[in-house]
Structures are given as structure tokens and as C-alpha cells.
């Protein structure tokens, strides 16, 4: 099977470099355009279904990608973005204390002020893959699934798929809005066949 993991389109908080986390924000006009161009770029992919974070920015992106396909979009709370607690709404360039380590030194990051830990992110990602994605692989070898998510949870999914060390959680390439990663999952193993692909 092939698993497509896509980040949502641009939001006003992305533009302002504000920390979103679980805060529910809308796509900008440019974010909608990004998603529309991505939808055009992958319009010939015969997806079995789409799984989405319940947050509006991801779900709207999923709806745009679905376009005219008669397939379900299934919300899964394990695909929520990481919760930053009291840090949400802060400007990312003014971050301080432990939050700085979240992006720059994951190994030394300690979740504070109601934020989630990396262990939490990876636990959710592992649960989703083991309970939703891997069983599909066993049933239908050639199925294609799209996940519409967020920067951190998507990296968590990738880390579990590729057995990535925590220190390399944010390794290049950076995934901008509407970046698409593609993984091939078979009985013989898992391999990345596209990292941070763009269609706009």
C-alpha cells in the first residue's frame, strides 16, 4: 500500500509565525489555493479514503484534496496537532524556556505549561499506524490512503514509519504547508518514496 501524509494549507497564524497547536484556525486564501493546486497534482491517485485531523485547517484541506472523489474523510483525534498549552498564540520567534528546545533540541525538551511531550506525540502516531494503517496493508496490498495532518504529528508518523531517532525528529527537508510525503508499506518493510513533495 501507499500512504500519503500531507500537511494542511497555510493559515493566518502560519503567516504571522504564531504557535497554533490545538488552536482551531482557518485556511487563508493562499492556503486554499495551495490545497487546490495539490489536489490537481494528485487528482489521478485513486485513494481508498482520507484520514484527517479534526482541526478545521486540516479537514478543509482534506475536503479540497478529495475533490470529486466519492470517498470518506474520517476524522481521527490521534491526528490532532501537538498541544502547546499556554504557549499557543505566542510568536514563534519570541519563544523561550523549554519551548525553544521543542524545535531545536527534542531530546532535551520538557513539556511545560500544559503542553504535550514528544512521548505523547509518538504514542498517538504509533497507535494510529498500528490500529488503522497497518491492518489496511494486510487487507489490500495496492490501496492508497491520504492523511491530512499537521507539522508535528506528521513528523511523528514519519518517525514511527522510518524508526527515526528523536534527535532527528525535525531533520531536513522542512515540510512547508501542503507538503506531501509518500511511503510504501509492504510485508517486506517500509520505504519513503517521496519527502516534502510540492504541487504548487
> Model confidence over 25-59: pLDDT tens digits?
999 999 999 999 999 999 999 999 999 999 999 99
8 is an active site residue: yes
Say if residue 96's pLDDT is above 70: no
CA distance 70 to 122: 31
CB atoms within 10 A of CB 135: 11
Q: Which three cell numbers stand for residue 172?
A: 531536513
Q: Residue 197: phi, psi to the nearest 5?
A: -85, 145
Q: Which of 10, 81, 88, 116 is catalytic?
A: 81
Instruction: Please give the pLDDT value at position 9.
Output: 98
CA distance 149 to 38: 14
What is the pLDDT averaged over residues 6-28?
97
Instruction: Please give the pLDDT value at position 98.
Output: 67
pLDDT tier at 100 (50, 70, 90 boundaries)? confident
Instruction: Please give the pLDDT value at position 184.
Output: 97
**Where along the chain do its domains lie?**
2-83+117-197
**Inter-residue contact 173 to 198 (CB < 8 Å):** no
Q: Residue 172: phi, psi to the nearest 5?
A: -60, 150
Q: Which of 8, 10, 116, 150 is catalytic?
A: 8
Fold classification of 2-83+117-197 is Rossmann fold (3.40.50)
Three-class secondary structure assignment of 67-119: CCCCCCEEECHHHCCCCCHHHCCCEHHHCCCHHHHHHHCHHHCCCCCCCCCHH
Amino acid at each position: 500500500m501507499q500512504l500519503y501524509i500531507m500537511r494542511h494549507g497555510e493559515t493566518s497564524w502560519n503567516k504571522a509565525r504564531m504557535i497554533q497547536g490545538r488552536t482551531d484556525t482557518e485556511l487563508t486564501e493562499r492556503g486554499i489555493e495551495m490545497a487546490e493546486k495539490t489536489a490537481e497534482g494528485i487528482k489521478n491517485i485513486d485513494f481508498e479514503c482520507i484520514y484527517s485531523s479534526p482541526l478545521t485547517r486540516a479537514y478543509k484541506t482534506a475536503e479540497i484534496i478529495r475533490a470529486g472523489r466519492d470517498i470518506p474523510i474520517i476524522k481521527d483525534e490521534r491526528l490532532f496537532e501537538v498541544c502547546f498549552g499556554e504557549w499557543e498564540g505566542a510568536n514563534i520567534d519570541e519563544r523561550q524556556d523549554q519551548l525553544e528546545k521543542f524545535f531545536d533540541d527534542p531530546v532535551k525538551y520538557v513539556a511545560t505549561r500544559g503542553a504535550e511531550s514528544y512521548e505523547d506525540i509518538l504514542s498517538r502516531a504509533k497507535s494510529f499506524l498500528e490500529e488503522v494503517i497497518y491492518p489496511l496493508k494486510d487487507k489490500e496490498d495496492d490501496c492508497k490512503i491520504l492523511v491530512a495532518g499537521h507539522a508535528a504529528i506528521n513528523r511523528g508518523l514519519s518517525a514511527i514509519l522510518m524508526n527515526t531517532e528523536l534527535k532527528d525528529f525535525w531533520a531536513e527537508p522542512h515540510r512547508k504547508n501542503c507538503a506531501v510525503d509518500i511511503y510504501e508499506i509492504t510485508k517486506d518493510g517500509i520505504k519513503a518514496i517521496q519527502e516534502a513533495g510540492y504541487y504548487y
